[in-house]
Amino acid sequence: MRVPSLRGTGERALADAPPGSGLAAVLGEPGLPVVGKTLAFMRQGPALSLEHYRRFGPVSWANVFGMRMVLVLGPDAAQVVLVNKDKVFSQSGWEWFIGPFFKRGLMLLDGDEHHLHRRIMQEAFTRPRLESYLLQAGAIVDEQVPTWPTGIPFLLYPAVKELSLDVATAVFMGSGQTGETEEVQKAFVDCVRAGLSLVRFPVPGLRWHRGLKGRRVLEDYFRERIPTKRASADEDLFAALCHVETDEGQSFSDDDVVNHMIFLMMAAHDTSTITATAACWFLARNPEWQERCREESQAVVDMAAAGPIDLPGTEKLESLDLVFSEAMRLVTPVPGMARRAVRDAEILGRHVPAGTMVLVSSWASHLIPELWADAETFDPTRFDEPRREDRQHRFANLAFGGGVHKCIGMHFGRAEVKAILHRLLLTYRIEVPADYEVRWDMTSLPTPADGLPVVLHRL
- Give the containing element (helix H, strand E) for 457: strand 453-458
Nearer to ligand HEM, 1 or 83 (CB): 83
Distances in whole angstroms, Cα of residue 186 to Cα of each of 78, 81, 363, 384:
34, 34, 28, 40
106 lies in the binding site for ligand HEM (CB under 6 A):
yes
Q: Which of 38, 79, 181, 271 binds ligand HEM (CB under 6 A)?
A: 271
C-beta of residue 208 within 8 angstroms of C-beta of residue 194: yes
Closest separation between CB of residue 433 and ligand HEM, Å?
A: 27
Closest separation between CB of residue 389 and ligand HEM, Å?
A: 18
d(CA 325, CA 25): 35
Nearer to ligand HEM, 50 or 407 (CB): 407
Nearer to ligand HEM, 210 or 215 (CB): 215
Residue numbers 131-170 binding ligand HEM by CB under 6 A: none
C-beta of residue 70 within 8 angstroms of C-beta of residue 357: yes
Q: Which of 59, 80, 107, 456 binds ligand HEM (CB under 6 A)?
A: 107
Task: Kindly state the number of chain residues that form the binding site for ligand HEM, as judged by CB under 6 A.
Answer: 24
46 lies in the binding site for ligand HEM (CB under 6 A):
no
Closest CB to ligand HEM belongs to which residue?
Answer: 409
Residues whose CB is less than 8 angstroms from the CB of residue 218 and which lie 6 or more positions away in sequence, other chains included: 184, 187, 188, 191, 258, 261, 262, 265
Closest separation between CB of residue 9 and ligand HEM, Å?
A: 30
For residue 13, what are the β-bridge partners?
27
Residues whose CB is less than 8 angstroms from the CB of residue 414 and which lie 6 or more positions away in sequence, other chains included: 314, 321, 324
The interface mask with ligand HEM, positions 375-414, x = CB under 6 A, is ------------------------xxx---x-xxxx-xx-
Q: Half-sphere exposure of 79 toward its Cβ, with a 13 Å CA cutoff? A: 9
Q: Which of 264, 311, 352, 375 binds ligand HEM (CB under 6 A)?
A: 264
- Give the containing element (helix H, strand E) for 338: strand 337-341
Closest separation between CB of residue 128 and ligand HEM, Å?
A: 15
Closest separation between CB of residue 85 and ligand HEM, Å?
A: 16
C-beta of residue 429 within 8 angstroms of C-beta of residue 284: no
Q: Which of 54, 55, 118, 213 binds ligand HEM (CB under 6 A)?
A: 118
Q: Which residues of 190-202 are buried (b: 16+ CB within 10 A; e: fewer)?
A: bbbbbbbbeebee
Closest separation between CB of residue 293 and ligand HEM, Å?
A: 17
Closest separation between CB of residue 107 and ligand HEM, Å?
A: 4
Residues whose CB is less than 8 angstroms from the CB of residue 31 and which lie 6 or more positions away in sequence, other chains included: 9, 37, 38, 40, 62, 63, 64
Nearer to ligand HEM, 399 or 432 (CB): 399
C-beta of residue 53 within 8 angstroms of C-beta of residue 364: yes
Residue numbers 325-344 binding ligand HEM by CB under 6 A: 328, 333-334, 337
d(CA 119, CA 180): 32
Closest separation between CB of residue 276 and ligand HEM, Å?
A: 8
d(CA 135, CA 119): 25
Residue numbers 175-214 binding ligand HEM by CB under 6 A: none
Q: Which of 78, 218, 244, 267 binds ligand HEM (CB under 6 A)?
A: 267
268 lies in the binding site for ligand HEM (CB under 6 A):
yes
C-beta of residue 280 within 8 angstroms of C-beta of residue 156: yes
Closest separation between CB of residue 346 and ligand HEM, Å?
A: 20
Closest separation between CB of residue 164 and ligand HEM, Å?
A: 9
Nearer to ligand HEM, 110 or 431 (CB): 110
Nearer to ligand HEM, 48 or 237 (CB): 237
Q: Half-sphere exposure of 419 toward its Cβ, with a 13 Å CA cutoff? A: 29
311 lies in the binding site for ligand HEM (CB under 6 A):
no
Nearer to ligand HEM, 48 or 106 (CB): 106
Closest separation between CB of residue 414 and ligand HEM, Å?
A: 7
**DSSP summary character for residue 37:** T
Nearer to ligand HEM, 36 or 333 (CB): 333
63 lies in the binding site for ligand HEM (CB under 6 A):
no
d(CA 119, CA 339): 22
d(CA 3, CA 122): 39
Rg (CA), the chain: 22
Closest separation between CB of residue 409 and ligand HEM, Å?
A: 2
Residues in contact with ligand HEM by CB under 6 A are 106-107, 118, 264, 267-268, 271-272, 275, 328, 333-334, 337, 399-401, 405, 407-410, 412-413, 417
